[in-house]
Chains A and B, each alone.
Chain A
Amino acid sequence: MFETVLPFLMTPVAPLFIGAILLLFLPNILRVLVTIAAPAVALYLTWNAQTGLPISIAGLELELMRVDKLSTLFSTLFSIAAILVAIYAAQVRDRVQQIATMLYAGAAIGAVLAGDLVALFVYWEITALSSVFLIWANRTNAAFSAGMRYLFVQVGSGIVLVAGIAMHYQASGSIAFENLTGAGPETWSTGIWLIFVALGVKAAFPLLHAWLPDAYPAATITGTVALSAFTTKMAIYALARGFPGTDLLIVIGVVMALFPIIFALLENDLRRVLAHALNSQLGFMVVGIGIGTQIALNGAVAHAFASVLYQGLLFMTAGAVIHRTGTGKANELGGLARSMPLTFAFCIIGAASIASVPLTAGFSTKSMTIEGAAYAGQYWAWFALYVASMATIAHTSLKVPYSMFLKSGPKRDVKDAPPAMLLAMGLAAAACLYIGTAPGALYAMLPFPVHYEPYTTAHVLAYGQIILFAVLAFMLLLRAGLLPTMKRETLINFDWTYRKFAPAIFSFIGALVSTIWSEIARGFHATTSGAGRALAAIYGPNSVAARVLPTGMMVLWLAVLFAVVLALNLLDVR
């Protein structure tokens, strides 16, 4: 027992898990301190970690601490994210959320430090079980059922993962978590395929992604911020560790970057817009991992780091607005720039970052992946990522701040966000600008040496072009009245062909997608509720399986079974 526990206490996971236990007993003010201090201790332990803490559980040698550049970077990232979330949530007095966030962050850190697949799986499941409470903490029926769906998917991915691990272990005799790709998907065993699918669910691969936009907006204000930081990035880490250079990932990543665009453009709930945008950003990282060259992997990892910061910042600003106004719907918001100036400013920085505007975090990281695609000769992937970048600017960088702060909306007399929220947003915004202006510190942490200079004339010009084009597209959409938020008086005159043509195309695609989607959803719902009824009929309290039979019937069963056994024994059936 102690040989098991002592090594664990030296991992960065320990302060968070112990903190979570402390939270059960502490009064509120101390709880806030613990939530901020514990990830800070974790950060310290990450940077002063000794590698290699093998422990033995049930005859298995597990490795809790694999410290190399990749895991250190993600552990650092998760610690910083946990600190930001804790500051942002400082005025929330909900013990459930505080404990869930701590366990969630701790398990995410544990997962990236885990040196073998079994330890990875254990932490993997803890993230699923703890994070669902961030959704349930809303304490509404909608949140409850959204949480159940989320839990179902997450635990399901864990079960696929453990099945994959078991089969992989059976086939190879190893539980080490190393590069599993080998010579590509053609050579994978079933076990590796299952592991790949499990990671794919968490990374929100296309068609496996539905849980993400479903669950994130259903969580509490602070819960969404925490959710956006850990689960998917953990999967990105695992893909970068286990499947770098898998060509299949390039295809998946490209679809993933493009696929959510339509949903994000048409969506009214701003947190859901951000969730779709997050999904698209993950596509960039997946492409980078799929290319697998040094610059592409560096790009994917750096992008993961930056995206946690700016995506978190955007979710925080949306949360602040919901906190003050009570709604996150684009059509119910607007005109908050005057009453919430600081939040507005931070939102613009976050929006600029995700748009890869020079001097922000997105520019110095996301562009690395895209250039990586070009260097590796994957020109169509490179082109697709360009298109996706442009779309991101339209549906997130412009639409989100515009809907909340700029367009005219109902008159509201609200104050700016509470000080703790402002502080957290300010820190995140400062980090975005710091990485944008002085990317050297982040580059030094990347797994491979960086020979990449973001601030060349060509890059800056190229991105300027993208941004301009995206602004154009956004205006187009405004004009077409396709954004659910738009009021006529804010529109600018535009060419009539676009006015006629674009709406037709977009509304056609939109209608098609939503029809297909609702059919699938209805079919799924009908199947599940039908299956539920069928199960209840077979196994419910009054069913054949559960009824209490008279003793005589039981004796009959006994006789039948005995007859079968006897026949088998005496007749030598085989």
Chain B
Amino acid sequence: MIEAITTFTAQHGPLLAIAVPLIASPLAILMVNRVAAFIVTWLSAVTSFGLAAQMVTITADGTVLSYAIGGWAPPIGIEYRVDAANALVVLIVSMMATVLLPYMRTSIEQEVAERQHTLFYACFLLCFTGLMGVAVTGDAFNVFVFLEISSLSTYALVAMGAAKDKRALSAAYDYLVLGTLGATFFVIGLGMIYMVTGTLNLADLGRRLAEVDAENRTVRTAYGFIVVGLGLKIAMYPMHRWLPGAYTFAPTTISAFLASTATKVAIYVLARFVFSVFQIDYPFERDTLQFVVLPLALLAMFTASFVAVFQQNVKRLLAYSSLGQIGYMLLGLTLLTATGLTATFTHLFAHALTKGALFLAVGAIIYRTGGPMMHNLAGQARLMPWTSAAIVVGGLSLIGIPGTVGFVSKWVLIQAAFEADLWPIAAAIVASSLIAVVYVWRLVEVLYLQPAREGAAKREAPLTMLIPIWVLVVAIVWTGFDADGLVSVARTAGESLLDGGFVADGARIIGVPGR
């Protein structure tokens, strides 16, 4: 029985991981009852998580899965194509959704009007479906469609923070305008490469673009459109201004989910296009990364971290810190080596856990004290010891202290910098970590050393919030000690991107037999 199920899921995993949450989304609205809607949402997230975990184990040895939708063989039909890189991203997204949802059920009691709860779940599921779809699909136009599904639902989710703070509306509007611009740039770029090659299948695009003449101006322009468009979605410095507002005013779980998944998925797409589709064969492709993206990544690492130091709103502080962390991920990408990509993918995972835990823990304090400002945190170590301890562990991971997952990814990144003989960059990584010490220390100081408000009673966060937080904290520490699995999957992902394993023939064909 169990064997039959695993065989079935191994055959149809890529499709089911998208289809289940997509179907669950209208179901969540039809469930008039909030609890039932939650159960439907959570079960679909758990299902996707299981499927993602299976995909990771299958692809960890370098296998590439090819699933033809409806049996129409690629490149004519739409193909879902999964290697270690997208499997890891799918795992991150579904894992975060699974951990977050029980917390969300409690936190939206305060943040979202009750009659909107089922809609909220439905929106969340759409966003989730979109992110999963972007990661799984092997079709360029499909990437755009799923990207828009996730973005449109995200705008709605951010705007729902308006129940608490009306500024959520303008933040969502900014995000809408800029996100749409990014998507437009991206789709214009897609149109151009379609013009040149006549195909939209990612693997096929990769094969055909390799044969196109390097002087082809359409391809060059398309590359610019795609990198800049995705840069906006990634919140690459200085196109980041939508991000702090959105993270600050969105309901806390949405901030946590976006911070740990949305930008990560966009970075994955950038890596996919740069390495699998364009294959960095030509100087202009390298130049864009090394002379534009690399300096901007370094700029983000420092500037965003410095801004974080001076923030009074803790959610905003974490948002700016995310901008700095995005700098590390882009940095790994621009080194153009297998180790650099390993660092990027390790950091995707590490930062998802870390920032997820931090946003959730801060959310628990907001839940008890009513606000995200520094003075709301004052002295909470005595009143909410477990939540405060979680913030400390998350903060240590953000800095990259050994024993946390944040150390693992930074270590790999520094190794990558040394491998590329760029020791000034390694020094910059270490130096920018020092700034993280400052803003993390500010949190610790406020939590542990400042007196609490007069007469405040000891009131730990409810268990439904505390357990998800601590699941993430334990994962941070566990992965900090036992990172071999993570690093090896990330390395497979990086190598598959770099030596064209994704594009090459010889993918394992799964799903229904072709027509």
Name A residues whose Cβ lies closer than 8 Å to a Cβ of B.
Answer: 1, 4-5, 56-59, 121-122, 125, 129, 136, 144, 155, 159, 162-163, 166-167, 170, 535-536, 538-541, 543, 545-546, 548-549, 551, 554-555, 557-558, 561-562, 564-566, 568-570, 572-574
Contacts and interface: CB of A to CB of B under 8 A. Distances in A.
Contacts of B181: 555, 558
A163 B427 contact: yes
Interface stretch (B152-160, B215-223, B327-335, B352-360): B215-223
Contact of B310 (A167, A539, A549, A555): A539
Interface in B222-241: 223-225, 227-228, 231-232, 238-239, 241
Interface string B392-436: 000000000111000010011011001000010011001000100
B430 A159 contact: yes
B178 A554 contact: yes
A548 B239 contact: no
A536 B288 contact: no
Contact of A144 (B291, B401, B418, B449): B449
Contacts of B415: 166
A56 B484 contact: yes
14 contacts: A57-B483, A58-B411, A59-B487, A125-B402, A144-B449, A163-B427, A166-B426, A538-B306, A539-B306, A539-B310, A551-B173, A554-B178, A561-B292, A565-B288
Interface string B479-505: 001111001000000000000000000
6 pairs of A and B residues whose beta carbons are closest in the complex: A539-B306, A58-B483, A569-B220, A565-B224, A1-B482, A540-B310
Given A163-B426, A166-B426, A566-B221, A545 B241 contact: no
B18 interface: no
Interface centre among A129, A535, A546, A570, by most chain B C-beta atoms within 10 angstroms, is A546
B437 interface: yes
Given A155-B437, A561-B238, A167 B306 contact: no
B311 interface: yes
Given A5-B481, A539-B310, A561-B292, 17 more contacts: A4-B482, A57-B483, A58-B408, A122-B402, A144-B449, A167-B423, A541-B310, A551-B174, A554-B178, A554-B242, A558-B181, A558-B239, A561-B239, A566-B224, A568-B287, A569-B224, A574-B287
A145 to B, nearest CB: 12
Nearest to B402: A122
A563 B242 CA distance: 21
A569 B288 contact: yes
B411 to A, nearest CB: 6
Contacts of A541: 310-312
A151 B402 CA distance: 17
B93 interface: no
B369 to A, nearest CB: 21
Nearest to A554: B241
Given A539-B303, A539-B306, A1 B481 contact: yes
B8 interface: no
A170 B224 contact: no
Interface string B230-257: 0110000011011011000000000000
Contact of A548 (B238, B244, B287, B309): B244
Nearest to A540: B310
A155 to B, nearest CB: 7
Interface residues of B, number: 58
Contacts of A539: 303, 306-307, 309-310
A565 B423 CA distance: 26
Q: Which of A159, A163, A535, A551 is packed against the most chain B CB atoms within 10 Å?
A: A551
Contacts, number: 125
Which one of A125, A129, A565 has the greatest number of beta carbons of chain B within 10 Å?
A565
Contacts of B483: 57-59
B283 interface: yes
B231 A166 contact: no
Contacts of A543: 307, 310
A159 B225 CA distance: 40
A568 B223 CA distance: 11
A121 B430 CA distance: 15
Contacts of B414: 166
Given A538-B306, A570-B221, A564 B292 contact: yes
Contacts of A545: 303, 306-307
Contacts of A546: 307, 310-311, 320
Nearest to B305: A539
Contact of A562 (B224, B310, B312): B224
A570 B217 contact: yes
Contacts of B423: 167
Contacts of A163: 426-427, 430
A70 B181 CA distance: 65
A548 B287 CA distance: 31
Contacts of A166: 414-415, 418, 426
A536 B239 contact: no
B228 A573 contact: no
B481 A565 contact: no
Given A4-B481, A166-B426, A568-B291, A159 B283 contact: no
A232 B411 CA distance: 27
A561 B178 CA distance: 14
Nearest to B284: A569
B232 A558 contact: yes
Nearest to A121: B402
Contacts of B220: 569-570
A570 B287 CA distance: 11
A545 B223 CA distance: 28
Contacts of B437: 155
A568 B306 contact: no
Contact of B418 (A170, A557, A561): A170
B103 interface: no
Interface in B313-331: 320
B312 A59 contact: no
B185 interface: yes
A159 B434 contact: yes
Nearest to A539: B306
B177 interface: yes
Contacts of B223: 569
Give the most central of A538, A558, A570, A574: most B CB within 10 Å.
Answer: A558
Given A5-B481, A569-B284, A562 B238 contact: no
Contacts of B320: 546
A549 B307 contact: no
A562 B228 contact: yes
Nearest to A162: B430
A162 B431 CA distance: 12
Contacts of B224: 562, 565-566, 569
A58 B403 CA distance: 10
A274 B412 CA distance: 43
B406 to A, nearest CB: 12
Nearest to A96: B448
Interface string B278-299: 0000011001100110000000
Given A166-B418, A574-B287, A58 B310 contact: no
A121 to B, nearest CB: 7
A549 B170 CA distance: 12
A144 B426 CA distance: 32
A5 B482 CA distance: 10
Contacts of A1: 478, 481-482
B303 A557 contact: no
B418 A548 contact: no
Given A551-B178, A562-B228, A574-B287, A59 B484 contact: yes
Contacts of B241: 548-549, 554, 557
Contacts of A535: 306, 309
Contacts of B227: 565
A161 B287 CA distance: 34
A475 B224 CA distance: 82
A330 B388 CA distance: 42
B228 A565 contact: yes
Contacts of B238: 557, 561
